[in-house]
Structure 1
């Protein structure tokens, strides 16, 4: 077992899991930071604390926090039908069975609500079974779970119009499905606030928390700190996206599910505000009310919904924008731990039971939803308390 964080990271680089990685574990004012490897495969520039990464699905908790802010202000309500802001989705159809053809549909039994988006139970999204026709239609329509090609996704209005032609996999509220609800939530929030999502996030989250390096795509002045990212192959790894690629600049569609780039200290600022809210500390940087943070970090799924999503949620439920540990089935599980992972190689959690923030950013993509060895080793290390 690794004796310190540096051991965890260096071991992953030495055995070829990733060219480079940074991580930190913060317990109150006690912060342990480590880095290993280089910013490029075969390169010479070492990883640093201000290295810029695609944080992919670590975007989801940030979008969730933005939603809770607008709910606190009364701009959006849990029970509001999403059609109030997304009229294109006022009359969704549902496939008769999850594996049914796209034309074998019935009307939705009830309107989709904001609460359905918050808990990823609207009926659109990715289940454990990716081969169903309605799931394939989501990929064709432009919903990206693992494609991670932001410049290939149409602008929000066109994206929603395309989505309206894709039937739901399940009835609203029936099952948890991955990814699409966070993208939908981002579009809804922008329309509700009458402000584009990048500007809205900057105004309400990034600027107040001093997250100066976080945004949708890398700015020109950041490219010297930006990394490529890689995908594992049978004989090593291949570059999936260069510095000047899909993420160098603002995309047409700012993805609330996975569109952000940022640094480890920026994400620490965000995570600490969640930890402050759930702990009720008045001396920490509060962004949301404790009630809103508790809603984010509390599991909202039924036992049946958790069991149907084990490919994504092993020993976990889902709060708002992130998973919540509900059982200690693996060495890294801590009941109440909240957070998520990014398909481009990131993972970030707050652990209320121990007052811990744990964040790891790497340059190597996850091949599928299953945890990779580096994440398992890091989570096990951070679960010690």
Structure 2
């Protein structure tokens, strides 16, 4: 692969850009109730145009949008194929590496346990993981890892949910702390079976328990509760979920979310029976698309070191829409209750600790809930997040809309789709409302 691609991928590998929700501001005051009652199908002109603008010139091999109004089945807008050299049409059941769109799923799993009293939102995680009882913090963020000060407060479940625990991320941090994370194998994500130049060749911790133990030995980057900083906190939350539930993290997700939601195409490892539905992932450089993780030789056909609660899942547009539909239904899907209304409502609310700084981050001027960005003000009711390979999803409880977008390219900032997709959704809703 070209060197410039490796440099950028090294700097932002697995980085999952935050979903920009501000596009919904223009919807305020429009007659959306009548718009939502309009008969299906809708043209979704702007969304379709956005997809066509990338797939027709083969900037992307394929792309899918799943658009839902109220509790109607999602409309699927699909263009292109599973790969540049694979003629199989892409569609609602194609499989995509959703990376950090895993985080809201992990967050909502924790909300189930909080609602059941097995966890408490402001409970110190040291109650379950004693090694986190006396954490040390870098005196200067991303500075020395020997010049440390004691943590002034305990890391809580709330902090893990909202990226305010003070933990780091090897895709974010620089200097000695980044190197320490890599050497300790607390790099919870995967890209390809092939080692890319410029990327650390270090083994990931062999289990979720070992991951947590190794993480506890490293200094924090920030004092807990003081700064929003993208981190491995949702991966660590997977271990907390295991201990609180008495089940494996993967087993808990299957029993409490995937099974009840009918999400039978969401995996940490793609089984052989579903391998033909996996799409290729590409790197983007100045020459175009470069094969990065071909479906036939994908690392997602292998068992991961452990289930990565921050960036580990593969899913289909149809499956993830069912998760969004459950959230829109305040925990009910298909007439069956999956989560309590309280658990969903709290999980989609702003859970940031009071005083936590967000200026200049991916959640500047927004809130953050159970693993996803939360809209405030005119965007109140919106909840969602994006993934490192171009996927993005949101649910707008205030307007009864759910929208998600699926394609495969890295790094996610090679194209502005994380911002442009919500804008296209908002433009279509505004056009619909004005014409209602």
Q: Same fold (TM over 0.5)?
A: yes
Cα-Cα RMSD:
2.6
User: Rg larger in 1 or in 2?
Assistant: 2
Where do 5+ consecutive residues of structure 1 fail to align?
329-333
Q: Distance in 1 between matches of 2:68 and 2:189?
A: 29
Matching residue of 1:331: none
2:282 alignment partner in structure 1: 230
Report what 1:54 is aligned to: 97
Point out the more displaced range, 127-136 or 200-209. Answer: 127-136
Matched, 1:289 2:331: no
Q: Could you tell me the TM-score, scaled by structure 2's length?
A: 0.79
- The aligned residue for residue 343 of structure 1 is 388
Cα distance in 2 for partners of 1:166, 1:214 equals: 32
Q: Does 1:298 align with 2:349?
A: yes
Q: Structure 1 residue aligned with 2:273, among 198, 216, 221?
A: 221
Structure 1 match to 2:420: 377
1:248 to 301, 305, 326: 301
The one of 66, 72, 87 equivalent to 1:24 is: 66
CA contact (8 A) 1:297 1:324 kept: yes
| C-alpha deviation, 1:99, in angstroms | 3.3
Question: Equivalent residue for 1:320?
Answer: 370
Offset of 1:135 from its aligned partner? 3.8
Q: 1:212 to 1:127 in 2, by over 3 A?
A: closer
Matches within 5 A, 1:78-157: 78-126=121-169, 130-144=173-187, 148=191, 152-154=203-205, 155-157=207-209
The 8 Å contact of residues 315 and 327 in structure 1, kept in 2 or not, is answered as: no
Post-superposition offset of 1:153: 2.3
> 1:307 is matched with which residue?
359
User: Can you give the 5+ residue segments of structure 2 that lack an aligned partner in the other structure?
Assistant: 1-43, 194-201, 430-436
Q: 1:372 and 1:285 mapped to 2: Cα distance? A: 39
* Residue aligned with 1:254, SS: coil
The answer as to whether partners of 2:268 and 2:312 remain within 8 angstroms in 1 is yes
Instruction: Provide the C-alpha distance between the structure 1 equivalents of 2:403 and 2:327, rounded to a whole number of angstroms.
Output: 12
Residue number among 5, 10, 13 corresponding to 2:55 in the alignment: 13
Q: Distance in 1 between matches of 2:74 and 2:335?
A: 15
Greater shift, 184-193 or 315-324, is seen at 315-324
Cα drift, residue 193 of structure 1:
1.7
Q: In structure 1, what is the Cα distance between the partners aligned to 2:178 and 2:171? A: 10
SS of residue matched to 1:198: helix
Question: Against the structure 1 CA distance between its residues 131 and 182, is the aligned structure 2 distance closer, same or farther, given a 3 Å change threshold?
Answer: same
Tell me what 2:87 maps to: 44
Say which SS state the counterpart of residue 405 (structure 2) adopts: strand
Change (3 A) 1:80 1:259: same
Taking the aligned partners of 2:259 and 2:61, their CA distance within structure 1 comes to: 32
Distance 1:125 1:139 in 2: 11
**Contact 1:349–1:358, Cα closer than 8 Å, also in 2:** yes
Q: Contact (CA 8 Å) 2:164, 2:356: kept in 1 or not?
A: no
Q: Which moved more, 1:124-133 or 1:75-84?
A: 124-133
Contact residue 56 and residue 259 of structure 1 kept, 8 A:
yes
Deviation at 1:238, TM superposition (A): 1.5
Q: 1:178 to 1:352 in 2, by over 3 A?
A: same
Evaluate the alpha carbon distance shift between residue 149 and residue 180 of structure 1 in structure 2; reply closer, same or farther with a 3 A threshold. farther
1:5–1:33 CA contact under 8 A, matched in 2: no
1:34 aligns with 2:77: yes
CA shift at 1:16, angstroms?
3.7
Q: Distance in 2 between matches of 1:152 and 1:62?
A: 26
Residues 261 and 333 of structure 2 are in contact (CA less than 8 Å); yes or no, is this contact kept in structure 1?
no
Q: Is the 8 A contact 1:66 1:205 kept in 2?
A: yes
Task: Report how many aligned residue pairs link the two structures.
Answer: 373
